Amino acid sequence: MASLSTQPSKKAIRTPGGGGSNSGSQGGTRNSSGQTVKFARRTSSGRYVSLSREDLDMSGELSGDYMNYTVHIPPTPDNQPMDTSVAAKAEEQYVSNSLFTGGFNSVTRAHLMDKVIESEVSHPQMAGAKGSACSMPACDGKVMKDERGADVTPCDCRFKICRDCFLDAQKDTGLCPGCKEPYKNGDYDDDVPDFSSGALSLPAPDDSKGDRRNMSMMKRNQTGEFDHNKWLFETKGTYGYGNAYWPQDDMYGDDGNDGFQGGMIESNDKPWKPLSRRIPIPQGIISPYRLLVAIRFVVLGFFLAWRITHPNEDAIWLWFMSICCEVWFAFSWILDQIPKLCPINRSTDLEVLREKFDMPSPSNPTGRSDLPGVDMFVSTADPEKEPPLVTANTILSILAADYPVEKLACYISDDGGALLTFEAMAEAASFADLWVPFCRKHDIEPRNPETYFTLKGDPTKNKLRSDFVKDRRRVKREYDEFKVRINGLPDSIRRRSEAFNAREEMKMLKHMRETQNAGDALEPIKVQKATWMADGTHWPGTWAVSAREHSKGDHAGILQVMLKPPSSDPLMGGADDDKFLDFTDVDIRLPMFVYMSREKRPGYDHNKKAGAMNALVRASAILSNGSFILNLDCDHYIFNCRAIREGMCFMMDRGGEDICYIQFPQRFEGIDPSDRYANHNTVFFDGNMRALDGVQGPVYVGTGCMFRRFALYGFDPPQPDKLLAPNNNKAAADAETQTILTATDFDPELDVNLLPKRFGNSTMLSESIPVAEFQGRPLADHPAVKFGRPPGALRVPREPLDAATVAESVSVISCWYEDKTEWGDRVGWIYGSVTEDVVTGYRMHNRGWRSVYCITKRDAFRGSAPINLTDRLHQVLRWATGSVEIFFSRNNAFLATRKLKLLQRLAYLNVGIYPFTSMFLIVYCFLPALSLFSGQFIVQNLDVKFLIYLLLITLCLIGLAILEVKWSGVGLEQWWRNEQFWLISGTSAHLAAVVQGLLKVIAGIEISFTLTAKSGGEDNDDIYADLYLVKWTSLMIPPIVIAMVNIIAVAFAFSRTVYSTVPAWSKFIGGTFFSFWVLAHLYPFAKGLMGRRGKTPTIVFVWSGLIAITISLLWVAINPSTGATTEVVGGGTTFTFP
């Protein structure tokens, strides 16, 4: 029976974030924000034309003159519902080939892209992959594909048909257009779990729960409100990679060996092994180190007491300035030194990790991984300053990482919304089809192609396969062609856009000629200079010529699934003639890869990198919901393909449930051999951070960090004493592992009705939170694991992406989503500072979480650093300004809770205070010159006690440096470079940071920074060209003045002492020693000002010396010393030489 409805269609209500109207067409797809999802193809003029008859919602397009007809036809033998397996594959393919856009006051659209880049793509997971054409007349659609890229034909006759035509055939007659036979059901469902294999399966949730989770944008409960009680207390369904419920034995069939109980027995039968170990520093090194710290502390106390009680009456002003500086230096040294008292080392056991999570067993014969999901975040903002080739290499190193493919997802945030970045990422996804299997086949390391192909040494070392040389040569050639395509993208996009814009101009001119009278003058044609994509449609992001809704600060949200999620089981390759490589027995699957550019609109604060990272957190929670997040800058790549596994050893180990993040050290490439400006910063990364690891954990430094997603959501760590109190040990173990923790268990202040206020109004985002918490727990294979999960819970295949899921991920990256929520205040990356990384880590530590420092034998990640002096000073200026902001904010460690340990509190205090040392340091650097000019010294006389104190302090400093080098592994040269740059930055960038911070606090002047360019200098033949490039900045003025004044002061004091009848050599030597101490620290700065070797004319040095001598002699003539003998000759002053 059929029913006919003739009500007029209604315009979809577009709201910025509230629950919009549910009126309109029945066929629309609505998200939790009341938005309409439309599937369309954009024409060359930018108009949307419907493609999907199944998902089309015309409520926002048709006028009131049209009617909506809904025909309901009951199932018959000739009209059966679409097979679920074919439907899921068709839906996933349709989604992965669509570019989703949306945002403020606009509908969410899915634009089907037949072509993503100019070149052909073949990998079946990639958007725009080539495929067979539909055999239906007048249809240019693509045939559905399986995991290998083979055509999916729903009929035995193998008639090729696209998704839309298949839906039409199903609805019309139910007959195959090829053989005219009815479609059969159930023949294509290859996703049925195999219970006979013994693999651990999970209880399937009822349809209502599954539909509500997957289609939360289309189906709501009767009241339209989100059921918070169900989120808090009913998490027994299957979500994402696993299950948030400990199943009972009778839920797995009749055979007890197939259930969890058998798996737990098998796990407990094996001897428990730790995944990581804490290695203390040898007592022969750490005990003398601590003793020297105590001795130096006592000596400093006596020294300062002596200095205060013995002022220099002849130069009280000089004495007062020096004593103020020395007191502050002592305080600063304590803040820096005390947190270093507990350094530790750590080690991991990757073999034990593999045995626990990846080994085949009776309950897991296929060897599916039980590791949790990891979402990789890469952020970029400007393709001109952050070259797309560098970013593409970072993406390729992530896609080739040694981690279960189905558990890994890569996201890139393009804050500039540039088509250049979009197409470069599409090219990278296409090249990954060859690069990733090549890396797996030959165990390539590192898996950044640019770095790998430029390595010095024998590439065949430790390679056993006979076809390695042939494969490497072929891949090298393909990579060179890949680089040429990347480098040619700007010109390709420009020429393409010019051609399409010229075509549009001709169309408009032709239209005007046809519509106007013959005698009328034609008005000048104004055509927007749009930027066009490869498929001949407008780019929804930033145009090369900015226009309304197409600029860096004003464009729609964009999301494209470049590589759709892979299948759960390995997909082995073969001898592919197209690739000329034999990938037999090599897994050719690729991790999920998503391009995202969040929506930006005028009037909204986008919060720079922190806002982009929070948008990634929300979008990834809906699409993949990895329990852990690892973020990298676009110029940092994976150097150790097993780095993720190294970090997982800590997260999945006993006690790992209270670890909020794993920080890896930053290592850099392209640094000059002498490391002139201390770019490696090894004293901090190998000294300070290693020491903090023995307290509460290292600080977060912005990149190379693996987060626990649940900790990013602003929750406190689990506390056993407050959560559970069972009566006996066995009951305790059972209760602690089987209890499903809720949000109120971690945060008593969080009421069930406050979830939208904290996390926003996305239903799917809220539902993903307890799933991420459960999947991030360690295995419950040891009594000390208080909050574990059952082995095998994460081996369940993930569900394919559907249109509603992707559309809602577009909704959560809109500019209005964070309004009236706690994103950036308590949840996610914290706003309000240019160093959002330090503040984010501080908030987690302040809630009681701890972090771990993971130093791997092979560097986990490597990146680039600015080797130019000006760029380096601007980088340090940004860091120091953020520290000043922290000091004047509520994130000051003085205001921390009791959950922050004492030594950790001192470390964070030092982070906020260290820039203020510059005020005292710059005064102290002038003191030697003032002493030489005035003929006075900071003390009345060079007393024996003063010299003894000075000697003891110096010896303690040398002893501490040697011992610190021992336990940290830092070289003496690196330690000295760090000391030099500490003074250079302290007298330049840190001083400017203090001034800027005070201006922001007092006058409210906002601070803005620009990205540091990551490209090389003009001299492409010299990788260190930037090192010799002199770029003037006002930050150079204070160090230049300090150096010149000290040089002149030494020359002047020498002249005066030589000409004096009673030379005060002791004061001259004391002042000169301190002046040379200052000048020795400024030596790298002076080399930076000289530019390239040999380019500074010798005459410059000659004239500099002559000018210094002349000024010194003039000073002596104007202000001679009291000991000199003078006589007047003809009204002038002359000198009598001694």
Q: pLDDT tens digits, residue range 837-849?
A: 999 999 999 999 9
Question: Which residues, in sequence order, are CB contacts of 537 under 8 Å at separation 6+?
Answer: 41, 42, 43, 44, 46, 111
Structure token pair of residue 1067: 């004061």
Cα 138 from Cα 131, distance rounded (Å) = 17
- Phi, psi for 686 (deg, rounded to 5): -100, -15
What's the confidence (pLDDT) of residue 617?
Answer: 97
Q: What is the pLDDT of residue 1116?
A: 60
pLDDT at 1114: 63
Domain 371-456+467-507+529-719+741-865: give its CATH code.
3.90.550.10
What strands, in cross-sheet order, belong to the sheet with 668-669? 637-638, 861-864, 668-669
Please say whether the beta carbons of 627 and 772 come within 8 A: yes
Residues 595, 683 contacting (CB under 8 angstroms): no
Give the per-residue pLDDT at 88: 61
pLDDT at 431 over 90: yes
129-143, 485-499, 1079-1093: which is most confident? 485-499
Q: Name which of 63-67, 125-129, 715-719, 1061-1065 the model is least confident about.
A: 63-67
**CA dist., res. 150 & res. 665, Å (int):** 44
Between helix 1083-1090 and helix 1037-1059 the angle, nearest 10°, is: 110
Question: Which residues are paired to 413 by β-bridges?
Answer: 379, 596
Q: Are 704 and 668 in contact (CB under 8 A)?
A: no
415 is annotated as contributing to ligand binding: yes
Residue for token digits 């003009």? 1018
Tokens of 936: 């006075």
Q: How far, in Å, CA of 786 to CA of 725, rounded? A: 12
First vs last C-alpha separation in the chain: 125
Distance (Å, whole) CA 817 – CA 764: 14
- How large is the average pLDDT for residues 793-804? 87
Q: What is the Cα 135 distance to its own chain's centre? A: 45
Cα 529 vs. chain centroid, distance in angstroms? 33
Mean pLDDT of 773-801: 87
Three-state secondary structure call for residue 532? strand
- Residue 489's pLDDT is 95
Phi, psi of 20 (to 5 degrees): -70, 175
Strand ranges, E, within 446-599: 550-551, 554-555, 557-563, 575-576, 581-582, 592-597
Lowest mean pLDDT among 200-214, 414-428, 733-747, 1102-1116: 200-214
Q: What is the rounded CA–CA span in Å between residue 898 and residue 524?
A: 71
290 vs 35: which has the higher pLDDT: 290
Residues contacting 1073, CB < 8 A, separation 6+: none
**Is the pLDDT reported for residue 943 higher than 60?**
yes
Structure confidence at residue 52 as a pLDDT band (50, 70, 90): very low
Per the DSSP assignment, residues forming a β-bridge with 56 are none
Q: Which of 245-259, 557-571, 778-792, 1047-1061 has the lowest mean pLDDT?
A: 245-259
Residue whose C-alpha is closest to residue 67's, from 25, 27, 22: 25
Where do you find CATH 3.90.550.10 in the chain?
Answer: 371-456+467-507+529-719+741-865
Percent of the chain having pLDDT more than 90?
46
32 annotated as a binding-site residue: no
Residue tagged active-site, from 164, 370, 415, 781: 415
Q: What is the pLDDT of residues 679-690, one digit of tens each?
A: 999 999 999 999
Per-residue pLDDT at 501 exceeds 50: yes
So what's the pLDDT on residue 249? 38
Q: How far is CA 1107 from CA 67, 1052, 1103, in A?
A: 92, 12, 6
Query: What is the per-residue pLDDT for 813?
Result: 95
Cα–Cα distance for residue pair 90/1004, rounded to 1 Å: 55
What's the pLDDT band for 812 if we cut at 50, 70, 90?
A: very high
Amino acid identity at 563 = L
Q: And the tokens for 322?
A: 């020096």
Strands 238-239 and 242-243, by their bridges, are: antiparallel
- Consecutive H or E run containing 99: strand 98-103
User: Which residues are bridge partners to 584 per DSSP?
Assistant: 573
The yes-or-no answer on residue 415 being catalytic is: yes
Amino acid at 1054: F
- Nearest residue to 794 (alpha-carbon basis) of 782, 808, 809, 780: 780
Q: Where does the pLDDT of residue 588 fall: very low under 50, low under 70, confident under 90, or very high at 90 and above?
A: very high
Residue 110 — pLDDT band, cuts 50, 70, 90? confident
Q: Using CB atoms within 10 Å of the CB of residue 153, give its burial: 0 to 12 exposed, 13 to 18 middle, 19+ buried.
A: buried
Distance CA 14, CA 16 (A): 7
**Cα gap 887→909, rounded to integer Å:** 8
Mean pLDDT on 92-97: 71
Q: How far, in Å, CA of 561 to CA of 594, rounded?
A: 4
User: How far apart, in whole angstroms, are the C-alpha atoms of residue 576 and residue 578?
Assistant: 5
- Burial of residue 81 (number of CB atoms within 10 Å: 0-12, 13-18, 19+): exposed
- Tokens linked to 674: 């002498």
Lowest mean pLDDT among 222-231, 747-756, 1044-1053: 222-231
Fill in the DSSP letter of residue 50: E
Amino acid at 851: S
pLDDT, position 890 = 92
pLDDT of residue 32: 41
Is 190 assigned to a binding site?
Answer: no
pLDDT, residue 1033, reads 86
pLDDT tier for residue 694 given thresholds of 50, 70 and 90:
very high
pLDDT above 90 for 641: yes
Cα separation, 613 vs 624, whole angstroms: 16
Choose between 595 and 791: higher pLDDT.
595
pLDDT at res. 1015 = 53
**Is pLDDT at 934 greater than 50 in this prediction?**
yes
510 belongs to an annotated ligand binding site = no
pLDDT at 92 over 80: no
Confidence of residue 287 (pLDDT cuts 50, 70, 90): very high
Asked if omega into 446 is within 30° of 0 (cis), the reply is: yes
Q: What is the pTM (predicted TM-score) of this model?
A: 0.80
CA distance 426 to 829: 28
3-class SS at 133?
A: strand
Predicted pLDDT at 1111? 62
Nearest to 793 by CA among 372, 1085, 252, 380: 372
d(CA 597, CA 815): 11
- Tell me the average pLDDT across 803-829: 93
Query: 1054: Cβ–Cβ under 8 A, 6 or more apart, which residues?
Result: 1068, 1072, 1112
Read off the pLDDT of residues 351-402 as tens digits, 9 standing for 90 and up.
999 999 988 888 778 888 999 999 999 999 999 989 999 999 999 999 999 9
Considering only the C-alpha atoms of the chain, give the largest distance between any 2 of them, rounded to a whole number of Å: 129
User: Does 705 have pLDDT greater than 70?
Assistant: yes
Q: Is the pLDDT of residue 300 over 70?
A: yes
**Higher local confidence (pLDDT), 933 or 332:** 332
The whole-number pLDDT of residue 507 equals 87
Give the separation between CA 611 and CA 615, rounded to whole angstroms: 6
- Written as one letter, the residue type at 1111 is I
Name the band, by pLDDT with cuts 50, 70 and 90, for residue 74. low
* Residues 205-255 pLDDT 10s: 344 334 433 333 333 333 334 444 444 333 433 334 444 433 333 333 334
Q: Which of the pair, 562 or 154, is modelled with greater confidence?
A: 562
1094 vs 349: which has the higher pLDDT: 349
Instruction: Give the pLDDT confidence score for residue 520 in this predicted structure.
Output: 63
Of 85-99, 253-267, 1005-1019, the one with minimum mean pLDDT is: 253-267
**pLDDT value at 310 more than 80:** yes
Highest mean pLDDT among 18-32, 606-620, 754-768: 606-620
Q: Say what the pLDDT of residue 208 is.
A: 39
Choosing from 370, 402, 653, 837, the catalytic residue is: 837
Q: What is the mean pLDDT of residues 670-686?
A: 91
| Residues contacting 190, CB < 8 A, separation 6+ | 85
State the pLDDT at residue 729.
41
379 in a labelled binding site: yes
Residue 740 has pLDDT above 80, yes or no: no
Predicted confidence at residue 152, as pLDDT, reads 74
> Range with the lowest mean pLDDT among 354-363, 506-515, 899-908, 965-974?
506-515
> Alpha-carbon distance 149 to 648, whole Å?
33
633 in a known ligand binding site? yes
Confidence class for position 449, pLDDT limits 50, 70, 90: very high
Please tell me the predicted confidence (pLDDT) of residue 174: 78
Separation of alpha carbons 155 and 83, rounded Å:
11
What is the β-pairing status of strands 861-864 and 637-638? antiparallel
Question: Does 988 show up as a binding residue in the annotation?
Answer: no
Whether the Cβ atoms of residue 1032 and residue 869 lie closer than 8 Å to each other: no
Q: What is the pLDDT of residue 272?
A: 78
* CB 186 within 8 Å of CB 214: no
| Residue predicted with more confidence, 122 or 290 | 290
Q: How far apart are CA 134 and CA 141, in angstroms?
A: 5
**Alpha helices, DSSP H, located in 358-415:** 388-399
pLDDT at 561 over 70: yes
Angle at 1034 between CA 1031 and CA 1037, to 5 degrees: 105
CA 595 – CA 577 distance, rounded (Å): 30
d(CA 202, CA 248): 10
Euclidean distance between CA atoms 448 and 446, whole angstroms: 6
DSSP 573: B
pLDDT at 826 over 80: yes
Give the pLDDT confidence score for residue 270 in this predicted structure: 54
- Label the pairing between strands 106-112 and 98-103: antiparallel
Q: Is the dihedral of CA 874, 879, 884, 886 positive or negative?
A: positive
Q: Indicate the average pLDDT of the chain.
A: 78
